Structure 1
Amino acid sequence: MPSPQELLPWLEHMHAVRHYSNFGPLVKELEMVFAQQFALDPEQLTTVANATLGLELVLQALDLPAGSRILLPALTFVATATAVVRAGHQPVLADVNERTWLLTPEIAYAACERMRLDAVLPVATFGMPHDMRDWQRFEQQTGIPVVIDAAAAYGSQWLQGAEGTLVFSMHTTKSLPAGEGGLVISTRPDLAAKVRQLSNFGINLDPAASMPVGALGSLGSNAKMSEYHAAIALASLQKWESHAQERRTLYANLMHEMDQVGWHKLTWQAQGPGGPLIAPTVLCVQLPDAAGRAALEQACQQARIMTRRWYQPLLQHMEVLQQRCLSLDTPNSQTLAQTLLGLPFFWGMQAAPRQRVLDVLKQVLSKHTYEL
C-alpha cells in the first residue's frame, strides 16, 4: 500500500474540491487511466466498491432469467460462488486443468454437453490470465456469455484484442491495492453503463434517457468506489511497474530456491495460453501428496511461519453452498485441494524470512520419500 506521504497529494486534492464519493474527479481520473491501458472507450468500464459486488452487478446486468445456471471452477475463492447465489442464480461447479489450475473452454464445452448453462464464470486463478480469444470463440459458438473473474489478475489479464468482460479487484492483497475497490471492463454493449447505474442504487443519471434524472431505473445497490479509495489506487499506480518487476523476480527466485532444496518434488502452476503471470501476489505450491502437505503445514506452524490452504475446502464441500450448487466431476480439483499450500510471499521479502521457509521445506521433504 502507498505510504501516507505518497498518498497525501491525492487526499489534499480531494479535500480541496470537497468531493468524497458519488463519481468524483479522482474516480473519473482513475477510470481514464484504465481506459487508456485497455485501449477502450471510458463508457466500456466502471469502477465499483469491490470485485465481489462487481461480479454480482455484472450478472444482474446480463439480464439472465432467475435461477440461471452459472458454470465456475470448484477451486476458487468463495466470493465467486456467493456472487452467483446473491445474484439469484445457481453455481455449477466444474473441474480445472491439472497444470494451469484454470477452468478452460474445453471444460466448459464438455459441461455444455451435459446440461443447460446460461453463463460461464472462469477465474484467473492466483492471477494466471486466460486467453480471451478462446473465450470469445466459446461465446460465439455457444451463445453463452462469459465473465472472467480476474480479481487477482490486474496487470496480467488483458482483452488481447478480443471481446469480453473482466472483473478485477483492488483489495489490499491484490497487485494494484486501493484498500478496497473493483474494476469492471466489458466490450458487451452497454454492460458497463448498466453496472455503473446499478452501483448507484439503479438511479438514472443520464439526461438523454427516457426517464427523468433521479428516477429509479433498476433495482441496484450502493457499490460505488469512493474518492478515498480512488486516491489510494492512483498513488499505487505510480509505483506499480517497479513493484510488479520486483514481485516477478522474487517469485522466480523463490521457485528456483525451493526446487533446489526440494529435489524438484514440488509442482508449480503452469502458464496457460493467456500468457505469463506479470504481477504475482501469492506463492502457492503443490506437494507430492496430502501427507507431505500436512507435514509442511505442521512444520511451518512450529517455526511460526504462516501458511494458507488455497482454496480449500472446495466449494461443494462447504455446508452453506452444498444445497445451492450443482457439482460436476472434479478429480483435478480434488487432488489440488489435498496438496496445495500457500507459503509466505510479499513485496520486499528479505533473505532471512526466505531462508526460514527454505529450511523448513528442506527439513520436511528430506523426511519423505516419493516415487519420482
Structure 2
Amino acid sequence: MTAREAADPVHDWVPLLVPDMPSPQTLMPWLERMHAARHYSNFGPLVKELEERFSLGFGVPLEQLTTVANATLGLELVLQALDLPKGSHVLVPAFTFVATATAVVRAGHVPVLADVDPDCWMLTPSIARSACHATRIDAVIPVATFGMPHDMFAWQQFEQETGLPVVIDAAAAYGSQSLQGAQCTLVFSLHATKSLPAGEGGLVISTRPGLAARVRQLSNFGINLDPDAGMPVGALADIGSNAKMSEYHAAIALASLQVWEDHARQRRALQAEFMAELDESSGHRLVWQAQGAGGALMAPSLLCARLHNQAARQALEHRCQQGRIMVRRWYQPLLQQMPALASVVKVLDTCHADELAATLLGMPFFLGMTQAQRKLIQLAVSTSKKDLA
C-alpha cells in the first residue's frame, strides 16, 4: 500500500458500526446542570427528567416505568420482580443475543430455546403456543430481533389465554416497539450502539401493577424508599442489586433525545437506499428481514442480509475481507451451541433458527456512511454475485 493509499480513508477498513453518540459540546449543558446540582446518581434530577420524557413518549404514568443501568440487568430484575419459582422454564428464541439467556440463568431459571419465524426472524405467539404443548413453560421472553417490533395485542392475548407472563426483550427496538395500547412489559437498551444511545442504560416499562416500582426498588439494592411501606426508609425490603442509571448516562440520553426524530428519519432513508443498492449489486439474491405483525422498523441500527446457503455467505465474507469491509455473523453460534449455556438450556426444535445461523450476515450500517464506503460494499457484493445464486 502506498503512502497516499494509507492516508486515504477509502482504504481504511469499513467499520461495521459507528455509535451515534452526542458530541462533548452537545453534552456540556447537561453536564453543567448535573454538576451544579451535585447529584450524580441515586435517581437524580436528570434521571427524573428523562423518565418524565419517556412517560410522555410512551403514554404511560411514571409509576409504570423505570430506568436501569442496562437492559440485561433490567431483564434480570423483571424476572425477579415476577416472583417466578426458582428453576422456572422461560421460553426464549434460540436466535438472539446471549444476554437474553444469561439474564434468565442469572435470575435462577432455565432458558427453553424455541424456533423463530423464517421471515421476520422472531419468536411469535404461534411458536410459543406450540412450545407450551411440547414442554412446561412458565414465562416467555420474545425478542424484538434487530429492532423489529412485536404485535403487542397478540402477545397480550397469549398472556390472557395461557396465564404466562410475557416480557419483550426490546433492547434494539427503541422508537419502533411501543405498547400499542396493550397490557405488556418492555425492556429497552440505551447502549452506545442502539438508536437512542446513552453509552449504557436501560428502560423498563410495564403495565403489570407494581412491577416497574419493584424493579426500581431492586435496582437500588432492594432498599425501601417509600415512607408508607410499613417499614423504615433505608431498610432492606428485598435482595436487589445496584442497577441504577447514573446522571452521566441520563445526560447523554437527554442529549440524544434532542436529535432522535431526525436521526431516525436518516436511518430509515439510509436503510432503504442501501438495501436497494445491494439488491441491484447482488442481482436481487439477498433476502432481508420481513416486517412482522407489529409494524415497521422506525430506527434501524443494523443491516443483516440472508444468503442462499452457507457457501454463498462464506464467499461474500471472503470478498468483504479482501475489500477491508467488516461484517459479522450476528447471534451466532446459536445459544445452544455456546459452551457456557449448552448444559443449562433446554432445546426445542429450532430448524428455522439453524438455517438463519448458517446463512445470515451483518453488513456495515451507520449514520455518516460515505458514498465511497457504500461503493466498496456494493463492489464486494457484485463480485460475489455468481456465488450468491
Tell me the TM-score range normalised by the shorter chain. over 0.9
> Does 1:234 find its partner at 2:236?
no
Query: Partner residue of 1:183?
Result: 203
The correspondence for 2:69, drawn from 22, 26, 49, is 49
In structure 2, give the amino acid aligned to 1:100. C
Q: Kindly report which structure 2 residues correspond to 1:1-372, keeping only aligned pairs within 5 A, or say none.
A: 1-365=21-385, 367-368=386-387, 370=389
Equivalent residues of 2:122, 2:145 under 8 A apart: yes
SS in 1 for 2:328: coil
Following TM superposition, by how much is the alpha carbon of 1:74 offset from its aligned partner in structure 2, in angstroms?
A: 0.3
TM (norm. structure 1) is 0.99
SS in 1 for 2:340: helix
Following TM superposition, by how much is the alpha carbon of 1:261 offset from its aligned partner in structure 2, in angstroms?
A: 1.1
Following TM superposition, by how much is the alpha carbon of 1:275 offset from its aligned partner in structure 2, in angstroms?
A: 0.3
Following TM superposition, by how much is the alpha carbon of 1:348 offset from its aligned partner in structure 2, in angstroms?
A: 1.3
Taking the aligned partners of 1:69 and 1:347, their CA distance within structure 2 comes to: 40
Taking the aligned partners of 1:369 and 1:171, their CA distance within structure 2 comes to: 34
Taking the aligned partners of 1:310 and 1:62, their CA distance within structure 2 comes to: 30
Q: Percent identity?
A: 69
SS in 2 for 1:93: strand
Taking the aligned partners of 1:309 and 1:46, their CA distance within structure 2 comes to: 33
Q: RMSD between aligned alpha carbons? A: 0.6
CA gap of 1:307–1:207, structure 2 versus 1, over 3 A, is same
Q: Which runs of 4+ in 1 moved over 6 A?
A: none
Following TM superposition, by how much is the alpha carbon of 1:42 offset from its aligned partner in structure 2, in angstroms?
A: 0.2
SS in 2 for 1:258: helix
Following TM superposition, by how much is the alpha carbon of 1:119 offset from its aligned partner in structure 2, in angstroms?
A: 0.3
In structure 1, list runs of 5 or more residues that go unmatched.
none
CA gap of 1:115–1:228, structure 2 versus 1, over 3 A, is same
Following TM superposition, by how much is the alpha carbon of 1:369 offset from its aligned partner in structure 2, in angstroms?
A: 6.1
Equivalent residues of 2:315, 2:387 under 8 A apart: no
Taking the aligned partners of 2:210 and 2:388, their CA distance within structure 1 comes to: 57
TM (norm. structure 2) is 0.94
SS in 2 for 1:239: helix
In structure 2, list runs of 5 or more residues that go unmatched.
1-20
CA gap of 1:234–1:307, structure 2 versus 1, over 3 A, is same
Following TM superposition, by how much is the alpha carbon of 1:281 offset from its aligned partner in structure 2, in angstroms?
A: 0.2
How many residue pairs get matched?
A: 369
